[in-house]
Structure 1
Amino acid sequence: MIELVEELSKKYKVIDILSVLEVPKSTFYRWKKEYTNREPNKLEKLIINLCEETNYHYGHRKIKALLKDRCNIPVNRKTVQGIMQKFHLLCQIKVKRQKYINGESNIIVDNILNRNFKANRPNEKWVTEITYLPYGSSMFYLSTIMDLYLIRISQKK
């Protein structure tokens, strides 16, 4: 589109070309500004390299801090944000895990212990705890199983 208008502008006025194409003048100039192939400047190259180096895990605030720490370049956070948006250097968004489960559990287990956690012999009472560990976009589950008799012995010492 931009090339077409540039080519036709040698013969016709840009405004006339845009009116025939039914493209607003401001839209054309915005497109032209965004899609001009120019070489990135020194700061832009540094930001691109930092994003590639960190595998696009950091956002504009962290990249700004890295510029200050590593390169001694104090730069405004909004400048870094604008450059990252210009070159489509988006950080990977960490998926937030669900804090609660909708609905009720299908399995309801009777409370056999009734908070009586004292065991008189081994293998009499066992308890478990499940911990959820988010890892990237997946979730790992860590389940520990304990014999309450062994806990009682370790507390006596």
Structure 2
Amino acid sequence: MKMIKEWQSIFTIAELCSIFNISRATYYRWKKQEKTVTNHEEKTVIEICQHHKYRYGYRRVTACLRDQFNIVMNHKKVLRIMRKYNVLSRVRKKKKIFVLGHEPVVAKNRIQRRFKATKPNEKWFTDITYLMFGNKTLYFSSIIDGFNNEIVSYKIAETQ
């Protein structure tokens, strides 16, 4: 097919197709499928994402391309471009909603700042440590025995 494209300035498409023993319909079908994402379209998708501070998802970017730039592009192609250049929308974590009228339950202070225990498993304490790794935060939650400060149990999680 590439040979036909190179020689079409000298010969007609019909002559080249007969030389390479393929039908003209096959050549034109190949030529139609040859159309790929242009650099201009990729740049436009990236510019839309940057302009809207990475808040738009691929569906909204597709609608923006269609409405503002008159570029008709399949949403899956937009998603592929966004993945290729790592400009996917940033998903914010939902904030916890507290229901008005319901006070949070606060446990009674039974320790009264007397942290030392006389025997194992008499007093347990919890602790949460925030571990920062670049943009990522991990939470280290532990249960500590008050007798010998031994960690009874722990869990590392991405959420509290």
Fold in common (TM above 0.5): no
Question: How does the TM-score come out when normalised to structure 1?
Answer: 0.38
Bigger relative contact order (CA 8 A; separation at least 6): 1
Which structure shows the higher strand fraction? 2
Which structure shows the higher helix fraction? 1
